[in-house]
Amino acid sequence: MTSEQHEPALWALIPAAGVGRRMGADRPKQFLRLGARSVLEYTLDIFLEHPAIRGVALVLGGGVDRDAVDLSGAGGRLFIVTGGEERADSVRNGLAFLAQRGRPDDWVLVHDAARPCLPPADLDHLIEVLRDDPVGGLLVAASTDTLKLEGVEGRVERTLDRSRVWRALTPQMFRLQALRAALDAALASGVAVTDEASAMEFVGERPLLVEGSPMNIKITRPEDLDVAEVYLNRQQRLRSGR
C-alpha cells in the first residue's frame, strides 16, 4: 500500500440551512453582510483557503437560490447539499453526501456557517492535535463568568468548577463513518443533538477538548454582528502585523 492510502482525507461540512429566527433579519443570518462580504463567504474562505482540506460540503436550505452562492473561487472543491429540519438533520445530509466521495476513516470538520471569526490558527491547531486521535474532538472556550447550576425555585443549587466546564464551539472533528453512525443512533433514540460531540458522547465516546479562541463566536442576535466585525478587523490587523 502507498502512504497515500493510509492517510485519511480532511473534509469540511458547513451547516448553513438555518433560518436565523433569533436574528430576526430579512434573510438567514449567514447571508447578512459584514462589510463587503457575507458571513457565509468569510466562513467558507477559511476552509477553501486551507491546503489540507480536500473538499467542502455546504449545506443550504431548500428555499435558497443556489445561484446566489458564488462558487467561482472554490476550484471545484465546494459541493452544495440540501439541509434538513434541525441542524443535526442538515449535518446528516452533508455526511451522506461526503460518504459517497470519501472513505469511512476520513476526517470531517463540521463548522457552523454562523462562525466567520474562526481564527485559521485554531483550525490548524485542532487538525494537528487530532490527526492521529482515535475519536476526534472539538474546539472549546473557557467561561470567564462564574457558573451557577440552577436548583429548585430558580435558586442556586451550587457553583460549578469553572476550570472543568467548557463552552463547545466548532469546528468539531470526527471520523466520517463513526460520526454518521453516532448521529443516526442519537437521532433514532430521540436525544437532543445540538452538536456532533453530543452524538459521539451518546454512543460512549469521549471527544477531546481543544481550547480555542473566544473570538470564535456564533452570530446569533443582531448585536453579535457588530462584535463579529470587530473580531474580523482585529484578525486582519494581526495577520498584517499592525
Q: Does 81 bind ligand CTP (CB under 6 A)?
A: no
Residue 241 beta carbon to ligand CTP: minimum distance, rounded to whole angstroms = 31
Residue 131 beta carbon to ligand CTP: minimum distance, rounded to whole angstroms = 25
Question: Cα separation of 162 and 172, whole Å?
Answer: 22
Window 10-39: residues binding Mg ion (CB under 5 A): 18
Closer to ligand CTP at the Cβ: 53 or 110?
A: 110
Question: Cα separation of 37 and 31, whole Å?
Answer: 9
Q: Does 92 bind ligand CTP (CB under 6 A)?
A: no
Residue 183 beta carbon to ligand CTP: minimum distance, rounded to whole angstroms = 13
Q: Which stretch binds ligand CTP (CB under 6 A): 5-13, 20-28, 102-110, 156-164?
A: 20-28
The total of other beta-carbon atoms located within 10 Å of residue 111's CB is 27
Phi-psi region of 170 (alpha: psi -120 to 50; beta: other; left: phi over 0): beta
The total of other beta-carbon atoms located within 10 Å of residue 155's CB is 8
The helix/strand/coil state of 126 is: helix
Q: What is the CA radius of gyration of the chain?
A: 18
Window 109-148: residues binding ligand CTP (CB under 6 A): 112-114
The residues of the shown chain that bind ligand CTP, judged by CB under 6 A, are 15-23, 28, 30, 59, 83-87, 90, 112-114, 218, 220
